[in-house]
A and B are shown apart, each in its own frame.
Chain A
Amino acid sequence: MFSAEGKLFIGFGSSLPLFGCEIRLPHADPNMAEIETLGILDEIQSLVSDKLQVVSYKWLSRNFLVSSNDAKRLLQDFVEKRGTGVEVVYTLSGWLKTDPSVYHIRLVSKPKLTEVKQEFDENCSVQIYSVQACLPKDPAVLWNAEFVQAEELFKQPHEVNNCLRDNRFCGILNSFVKRNAEEANGTTSVLPVKTTGTSGSSGYTLANQSPTIPQPQQKKIQGTSPNVTLQSPNVVKDVKNESKPAENKLKVPQLTVNTKKGETDKNSSGTGGALANMWGRASAKSKAECASAKTNGISNSADAQICAREEIEHESSDDEGQGVNVRRSYNGEVGRKRRVVFDFSDEEDEFKDAVNLASPDPPKKKSMLDSKRSSYSSDIEKSKLNFEEEKEDKPNFKHRKETDRKSKEENLAFGNHNNMNSSSSEKVINQVPAVDTIAKDKTRDAAPNSPKRKKVLKTRIDERGREVTEVVWEGEEETKPESDTTKKADNIPASNNSNRPSAVKKSPAVTANAPLNQVGKTGSKKAGNKDPKQGNILSFFKRV
């Protein structure tokens, strides 16, 4: 073990030191340098002769913490002083004589050196690459020892900044490289500045420090303080530490970056349809919870969490494009009266056929809403509330479960009659397009209190050829208020709900007192709805 002032030498053994200072072999102190070199040379000797290892300059530099150039010098010394009996491999690099447009770098063994040198231009450079006991047949063997060492360095904990990770022993310094040595998984993905011109060092986020702070102008900050000294490996650490204060300075310009990013992260609905956003978000909700009020539709990707974090920042920018703030209503706050404007007109048609690639909503949400409905009273107010909440849920259930859709839509349509006075619903209603089986659903729960009802799971093929499984109530209580459905009658395709005919009976009676009954109908419908929904969500899933 040798140590001298200002130098640290950890030698012997193949264990890799985690930390170390770069060793400089100052020529000003030849005695010291010589002693150290001797030690290393001994080491190399034992490795090559006894352990039969390939000692390449790179391996040497990482093992003894010397720069690559110094390692090459060491090997050169070794070859000169103790070179007998060891094979040496050189790198020959230069322009080829035969093809002047090719810069060739070649490994060549000592015996062939002069011969191969002929192929190169006069200015080619020769450098020692490795020493070993004997030349392997397969050149890749030269690489093995080095790679094993690299792998070990690679496997070290993420926080450690070893010589592999900061490239400290090379001959070229790049002060703009930043590495996030913290939580590897927490880093936001590299979605840096897309449009502004930045250098390669920019656009990297250190998520742990604060959510989503890309560093677009990092380079500029760094550029003004190029004071990194090249002597110590702490350079990289310093630079990294600098990055933290630098980030904070850059918050303002980053917002613009973020908004751009936020836009790109926005939901899959390229047309900005609110409905699609909602249903995409609905499935993401279970992951993102209330943290991100508006998540995008990338719920199923691994980036959901990352994007969710970003979304918090970008909410404002997202909202502009949407016009609908449905998300908040989903957070269980269904009791609150809220004005929700839905842009139904286009979306219904567009997204009717859209393939929903998001996962279905979690059942708990539905039951939450169901419980709300269960406390129904004949209060118009309440019905309005329920209507709204049902409306909000509409996009949620906009998938192949026809039951839900129909039930929602019926309520909407019904609300059409009910809440004529309510301006909030009016907007919605006017835009409610023709939906299937509205009337049918309307009728279904006209008589909620009748004990003769029975829930039945029915599978049928609807007019589009899709197989639809729905829970319907069987029994004569099903009503079909024809008069109420005059508006929608045209829109109802031939429905094959067997309960329909029986529903017709009740309609005259029901329509007798128009306003009251309408309310009643809403209520009953809702109540009727609530039962199948409430009871059957769980049973439906159990059955499945």
Chain B
Amino acid sequence: METEDSSSENGLLHRKQALYSSLDSCFEIQKEMYRGQQYSQIYFARLHLMRTLLYSLLPNWKPHIHVCTVIGLEEGKECIIVGTLYKHMKLKPSILEEYSKERSATPLVRPHNFMHPDDHLILEDESGRIKVCGDVLLPSVYVTGVVVALHGKETGTGDFWVEDVMEAGIPHQIERPIKSGEDKYVIFVSGLDIGSSTSNPLKFQLLVDHITGHLGDKKEQSIAAKIVRVIIAGNSVEIPRGLLNGQNLGSKDQFTLSEPIKELDIQLTQIAAGIPVDIMPGPNDPANFSLPQQPLHRCLFPSSSAYNTFRSCPNPHLFQLDDVSLLGTSGQNIDDLEKYSDANDKLEFLERTLRWRHVAPTAPNTLGCYPFTDRDPFFVETCPHVYFVGNQEKYETRLIKGAEGQIVRLICIPRFSETGVAVVLNLRNLECHALSFGTEFG
């Protein structure tokens, strides 16, 4: 293990290192071929994948109940059906409405929640669909795209009365070797929004200075020397979209348009010169719209991409640091869940996606997604140790435990431009704390 302790040598500290490996190959779409297909194939892949999984879990759940497909349901007979849930929502906006809004230069208004008391769930597999009723399966909790196993029976009215529901559950987690080790920190930050009117460049500069070891006294710098990686989880720039009106841009406009990216590049250069950094695209970044978002192109970062510490990553991003596996997104999946379902806090959404074993169940229904033909890359194969989401309102974190003893640290990373808060994670014990910056010195 090539780690170095931060003992000072001639008064200078060494930065700690951590073994990094990226597992993002499933999120790349270069190999995919677009043949004009739509989304039936990704749904089928998802259903097939998760149904196989659920069938394997059924014997532990209710071994005596007979399993059948939707078409094979008999009235009054208790059985288990496995399929994809579809939530019929009265207030769900139509695509035409959204299209016309997107065409305008002004950004979309942050959408509200589209739930309605009349929403109901329908279970669908490749043989048919059936409306689901009962108190066990709450429409407010579930969203379209989740694959579950339902135990119940068909009623006289042709609905399926649910007695019990089984989700895929948190996947198996590779255990971390328990060793005392040393503290190594990972910094998560998102929503830098460089170029926007709300972002304060001084705050970000303070963050950069703190991470790279300029700020602070010896003690603080020795703590900063233990930071091994910086993850920037989306929305790093805000391009002035008002300039993009379909016409050719004059040189002055072009300059204004590229200013934020250049500023980001300067800051990233400062970070990359001292510490490995991963940057993920977000909803507002110059990257593709549909998930999985492909890594930001390195031509945007002419200076930072010269460093071997600079890495442009896709969204979602799955990687490993030492023996901790981390998975996270820039926020689109959780924001979409928030629009179509209800929970006490964002962490609950996060936990649900983990229990459903799918990072973005609403893709491709309401969340833009690439029409994969033979796989569903958002399926969570093994349980990560850290599961994060960026661009949220506030910093929240929780440690959840799974049935098999899995331990996951859930993190909501707040928008830095609004809150000035970044998140610090200790890889040794998965402890988290906030790192906040204030510049009101008056």
A-side residues, CB < 8 A to B, are 57-58, 61, 68-69, 89, 91, 93, 101-109, 112, 125, 127, 135, 137, 139-140, 142-143, 146-147, 150-151, 154, 158, 164-167, 169-181, 184-185, 187, 189-190, 192-204, 215, 218-220, 223, 226, 229-231, 264-271, 276, 298, 302, 350-351, 353-355, 357
- Which residue on B lies nearest to A193, using beta carbons? B21
Asked if B307 and A177 sit within 8 Å, CB to CB, the answer is: yes
Nearest 4 CB-CB pairings of A with B = A200-B276, A204-B308, A172-B213, A167-B273
Rounded to whole Å, the gap between the CB of A122 and the closest CB of chain B is 13
A197 to B17, CA, bound (A): 12
Asked if B437 and A106 sit within 8 Å, CB to CB, the answer is: yes
B434 located at the interface, meaning its Cβ lies under 8 Å from any Cβ of chain A in the complex: yes
Asked if B269 and A197 sit within 8 Å, CB to CB, the answer is: no
B27-45, CB under 8 A of A: which get 1 and which 0?
0101111111000000000
Asked if B33 and A269 sit within 8 Å, CB to CB, the answer is: yes
Contacts of B32 in A (CB 8 A): 268, 270
A224 to B257, CA, bound (A): 45
Contacts of B266 in A (CB 8 A): 147, 150-151, 154, 164
Which stretch from B76-84, B222-230, B352-360 is at the chain A interface?
Answer: B222-230
Asked if B439 and A107 sit within 8 Å, CB to CB, the answer is: yes
Contacts of A140 in B (CB 8 A): 200-202, 439
Contacts of A108 in B (CB 8 A): 441
Asked if A180 and B19 sit within 8 Å, CB to CB, the answer is: no
Rounded to whole Å, the gap between the CB of B227 and the closest CB of chain A is 9
Given the contacts A139-B441, A265-B30, A269-B33, A201 and B9 also touching, CB distance less than 8 Å: no
Asked if B213 and A171 sit within 8 Å, CB to CB, the answer is: yes
A104 to B440, CA, bound (A): 13
B53-79, CB under 8 A of A: which get 1 and which 0?
000000000000000000000000000
Given known contacts A174-B14, A220-B2, A270-B374, what 4 new A-B pairs fall within 8 Å (CB)? A139-B439, A172-B213, A180-B307, A184-B302
Asked if A127 and B216 sit within 8 Å, CB to CB, the answer is: yes
Asked if A354 and B2 sit within 8 Å, CB to CB, the answer is: no
Contacts of A197 in B (CB 8 A): 19-21, 320
Asked if A180 and B306 sit within 8 Å, CB to CB, the answer is: yes
B177 located at the interface, meaning its Cβ lies under 8 Å from any Cβ of chain A in the complex: no
Name B273-330 residues within 8 Å CB distance of A.
273-276, 297-299, 302-303, 305-312, 320
Asked if A164 and B217 sit within 8 Å, CB to CB, the answer is: no
| Residue of A166, A199, A268 most packed against chain B (CB within 10 A) | A199
Contacts of A218 in B (CB 8 A): 308
Contacts of B14 in A (CB 8 A): 172-175
Contacts of B4 in A (CB 8 A): 226
Q: How many A-B pairs fall under 8 Å by CB? A: 271
Asked if B214 and A190 sit within 8 Å, CB to CB, the answer is: no
Rounded to whole Å, the gap between the CB of B286 and the closest CB of chain A is 14
Instruction: Provide a sorted-by-A list of 11 A–B residue pairs whose CB atoms are within 8 angstroms.
Output: A91-B215, A107-B202, A125-B216, A137-B442, A147-B205, A167-B273, A199-B20, A200-B17, A202-B308, A276-B33, A353-B35
Asked if A167 and B212 sit within 8 Å, CB to CB, the answer is: yes
A102 to B424, CA, bound (A): 10
B210 located at the interface, meaning its Cβ lies under 8 Å from any Cβ of chain A in the complex: yes
A368 to B4, CA, bound (A): 62
Contacts of A106 in B (CB 8 A): 437-439, 441
Given the contacts A187-B305, A268-B30, A194 and B24 also touching, CB distance less than 8 Å: yes
Asked if A198 and B434 sit within 8 Å, CB to CB, the answer is: no
B338-378, CB under 8 A of A: which get 1 and which 0?
00000000000000000000000000000000000110000
Give the size range of B's interface with the partner: 35 or more
- Which residue on B lies nearest to A217, using beta carbons? B2
Asked if A177 and B273 sit within 8 Å, CB to CB, the answer is: yes
Rounded to whole Å, the gap between the CB of A159 and the closest CB of chain B is 10
Given the contacts A167-B270, A177-B272, A107 and B206 also touching, CB distance less than 8 Å: yes
Asked if A103 and B33 sit within 8 Å, CB to CB, the answer is: no
B164 located at the interface, meaning its Cβ lies under 8 Å from any Cβ of chain A in the complex: no
A354 to B36, CA, bound (A): 7
- Which residue on B lies nearest to A204, using beta carbons? B308
Given the contacts A170-B213, A199-B19, A357 and B34 also touching, CB distance less than 8 Å: yes
CB contact between A101 and one of B28, B297, B433 (< 8 Å): that residue: B433
A353 to B35, CA, bound (A): 6
Rounded to whole Å, the gap between the CB of B437 and the closest CB of chain A is 5
Rounded to whole Å, the gap between the CB of B75 and the closest CB of chain A is 42
Contacts of A173 in B (CB 8 A): 12-15
Rounded to whole Å, the gap between the CB of B2 and the closest CB of chain A is 4
| Residue of B205, B299, B309 most packed against chain A (CB within 10 A) | B309
Given the contacts A103-B434, A139-B441, A171-B13, A190 and B298 also touching, CB distance less than 8 Å: yes
Rounded to whole Å, the gap between the CB of B251 and the closest CB of chain A is 17
B113 located at the interface, meaning its Cβ lies under 8 Å from any Cβ of chain A in the complex: no
Asked if B30 and A190 sit within 8 Å, CB to CB, the answer is: no
B221 located at the interface, meaning its Cβ lies under 8 Å from any Cβ of chain A in the complex: yes
B251-278, CB under 8 A of A: which get 1 and which 0?
0000000000001011001101111100
Given the contacts A58-B209, A178-B308, A199 and B2 also touching, CB distance less than 8 Å: yes
Asked if A58 and B2 sit within 8 Å, CB to CB, the answer is: no
Contacts of B237 in A (CB 8 A): none
Asked if B435 and A270 sit within 8 Å, CB to CB, the answer is: no
Asked if B433 and A354 sit within 8 Å, CB to CB, the answer is: no
Given the contacts A102-B436, A139-B202, A172-B15, A230 and B298 also touching, CB distance less than 8 Å: no
B196 located at the interface, meaning its Cβ lies under 8 Å from any Cβ of chain A in the complex: no
CB contact between B221 and one of A154, A166, A172, A192 (< 8 Å): that residue: A172
A187 to B304, CA, bound (A): 12
CB contact between A179 and one of B30, B263, B273, B432 (< 8 Å): that residue: B273
Contacts of A180 in B (CB 8 A): 306-308
- Which residue on A lies nearest to B273, using beta carbons? A167
Given the contacts A174-B275, A197-B20, A264-B30, A181 and B306 also touching, CB distance less than 8 Å: yes
Asked if A195 and B10 sit within 8 Å, CB to CB, the answer is: no
A89 to B297, CA, bound (A): 39
Contacts of B217 in A (CB 8 A): 125, 127
Asked if B201 and A147 sit within 8 Å, CB to CB, the answer is: yes
Contacts of B17 in A (CB 8 A): 174, 176, 199-201, 219
